Amino acid sequence: MNYTLHQLQVFLKVAELKSITKASEALHLSQPAVSIQLKNLQEQFEIPLIEVIGRQVYVTEFGREIAEASQKIVEQVHAINFKTMSYRDQLVGHLNISIVSTGKYVMPYFLSGFVNKHEGVELNMDVTNKLKVLDSLEQNHVDFALVSTIPSTFNVNKIELMPNSLFWIGNCDKVFKNKTNNLTALKKLPFIFREHGSATRHAMEAYMKSNDIKNTKRLELTSNEAVKQAVIAGLGFSMMPIIGIRKELSDQDLQIIPMKGTPITTTWNLVWLKSKRLSPVAEAFVKYISNSKTELINQHFSWYQDFLADKN
């Protein structure tokens, strides 16, 4: 037997995703490269690891046993690497963060410098809806969460990162003249909502209630990207964080509808439970964010600051 760690890692990804195409995308390899690694591994076993029927990949019973053993080998190699880095006084361990879906436009810029500096840190970032983010935080499944509003029932520490500003948006098929007339027009338009529990939905419904907007035509979608595409397609109008539609505004696929009382601005907060005992990696990340956030915002979000200043 002369299989390599790389061959085992490729096989594990194929076994996990049941697809050579998806495995190649996840591993940032070409499909031929993945197929060659699989072939080289398979040649060392008389019993098939996988079967390809049509375009579907099936892992054999023997393949599942090899995958289980391979996973243990890969984990042991990671453990060895971690121990080596630890002896070199390098920061090693896992950093677990759960973020709301619109946070994907923000959080990566606050993570990349830290993760690239510390090769021994493995990042797990879960992008999901707000209810699941808060549940992960409450159940102590993550070190940190990124949210724009914090329930009063949560006892947390926080670092304020940057503003989260919401505007009414639509595609560019309709002309909106002025803020007063726009409110009248808005009352007659079909709306697209995020799912229940979303902070954006809560802000949108609060605005509608305070301005006596009662509209029964509604479509509910579970992601910011889905709402964005639905608005572009002309299915309705919505309220969205401006940070997620920079390109669409530039391309004139979307427009901001000027309305009194907008933008509605909250703050992106990095939060963690006060009762949580932070790992050395988590403590180092808190220190990094505290010391670097102003520089990171100026570096990556100057356009955003300029845009808000112009709209305000």
pLDDT value at residue 216: 63
Q: Within a 10 A sphere around the Cβ of 5, how many other Cβ atoms?
A: 11
97 shares its domain with 151: yes
**61 lies in which domain range?**
5-87
73 shares its domain with 104: no
pLDDT value at residue 88: 54
Check which CATH number belongs to the domain holding 289 and give it.
3.40.190.10
81 shares its domain with 97: no
Q: Within a 10 A sphere around the Cβ of 253, how many other Cβ atoms?
A: 16
In terms of Cα–Cα distance, which of 94, 98, 91 is closest to 131? 98
pLDDT value at residue 97: 94
In the three-class reduction of DSSP (H, G, I as helix; E, B as strand; rest coil), residue 53 is classed as: strand
Check which CATH number belongs to the domain holding 20 and give it.
1.10.10.10
286 shares its domain with 152: yes
Q: Report how far residue 207's alpha carbon sits from residue 186's, in angstroms, rounded to the nearest whole number.
A: 12
pTM listed for this prediction: 0.66
In this prediction, what percent of the chain has a pLDDT beyond 90?
21
41 shares its domain with 101: no
Residue ranges, the chain, pLDDT below 50: none
13 shares its domain with 61: yes
What are the structure tokens assigned to 147, written together?
A: 């949210």
Rounded to 5°, the CA angle 6-10-12 comes to: 115
How far, in Å, are 28, 80, 83, 162 from residue 301 at the CA level?
Answer: 28, 39, 37, 9
204 shares its domain with 286: no
Domain end residue (candidates: 65, 87, 109) = 87
259 shares its domain with 180: yes
In terms of Cα–Cα distance, which of 179, 174, 178, 204 is closest to 189? 174
Domain end residue (candidates: 87, 105, 139) = 87
208 shares its domain with 278: no
33 shares its domain with 53: yes
Domain end residue (candidates: 35, 70, 87) = 87
pLDDT in tens, 165-208: 999 898 888 777 666 567 777 777 788 888 887 888 888 888 88
Number of domains in the chain: 3
pLDDT value at residue 77: 78
70 shares its domain with 140: no
